[in-house]
Amino acid sequence: MSADALDDAGAVAPPAVASREPWYRRRSVLLVGGIALVVAIAVLTDLPTPTSHAADLASAAAFVKEVNTDLRPCGFALEEAFSFREDQLRGSLSATDRATVPSLLSDDAVACSYIDPSITDLTSLESPETTAAQPIGQMVATATVWVTADALGAIEAVEELWSHPGDATAAAALRHYTTLLARDRLAARAAVGQADTQLDTHRLTVDLPTVTVPSASDTP
């Protein structure tokens, strides 16, 4: 199928990266997991919420803090993978360092998959007892897509580029997933911002790093 093939929704499908595809990286698994999470959030947001504003705020803040704890390993893994791609483009790694990169990239991919304990914890969180449960739930759903689909896809593209530096399909996939990372980061931040406004606080934020397509011309 050509790179311009359409997906089921009629949109241009992302470029495929030819690589092994363990069960936890398959798109069907990611979609089923995401749907299950959204359904769980929809049910849990109907639970009773506290009447005390202080308790309301404390519950939301504690929940968002836990979400950020669970997101952190994948965020670090993504930044590391992108840094490896930059090093590859610049030729700045020694032979010894280059030999360790494939294993480290594999670990980075696992950190953004459903088999990582942090991702398991993220998708197992119970909805907070807060009046802002709905936008917070939307933030969690979007952040889960950010880690298990966008970040994982980007890291897989970097893995392929590490093995085949001139692979145009993998390079296009990396650009595609970098765009999705930016889009979903904004959506997650907008959702938590809505909760922040609803609770009349300025303490809620979601920790998703900003990344750009690696380039040899970037400032070291």
CA distances from 85 to 91, 128, 155 (A): 10, 39, 10
106 part of a folded domain: yes
With respect to residue 12, please indicate whether it lies within any of the assigned structural domains: no
* Burial tier of 93 (Cβ tally within 10 Å: 0-12, 13-18, 19+): middle
Residue in the structure block whose two tokens are 């610049």: 90
> Residue 7: inside a domain, yes or no?
no
Q: What is the pLDDT of residue 9?
A: 47
pLDDT at 201: 86
Q: Which domain holds residue 167?
A: 52-198
Read off the pLDDT of residues 160-209 as tens digits, 9 standing for 90 and up. 999 999 999 999 999 999 999 999 999 999 999 999 999 998 889 999 99
CATH number, domain with residue 179? 1.20.1420
Q: Across-strand partners of 6?
A: 12
Answer yes or no: is 210 within a domain. Answer: no
Residue whose pair of structure tokens reads 């032979």 in the numeric block: 95
The reported pTM is: 0.77
Rounded-to-integer distance, Cα 15 and Cα 181, Å: 16
**Does residue 91 sit within a domain?**
yes
- 37, part of any domain: no
Determine, yes or no, domain membership for 24: no
State pLDDT tens for residues 83-129.
Answer: 999 999 999 999 999 999 999 999 999 999 999 999 999 999 988 88
Closest CA to 159 of 12, 21, 26, 7: 21
Quickly state the pLDDT bin for 40 (edges 50, 70, 90).
Answer: low
Average pLDDT value for the chain = 84
Q: What is the CA radius of gyration of the chain?
A: 19
Number of domains the chain contains: 1
User: Is 38 within the bounds of a domain?
Assistant: no
Express each pLDDT in 96-107 by its tens digit.
Answer: 999 999 999 999
pLDDT value of position 14:
58
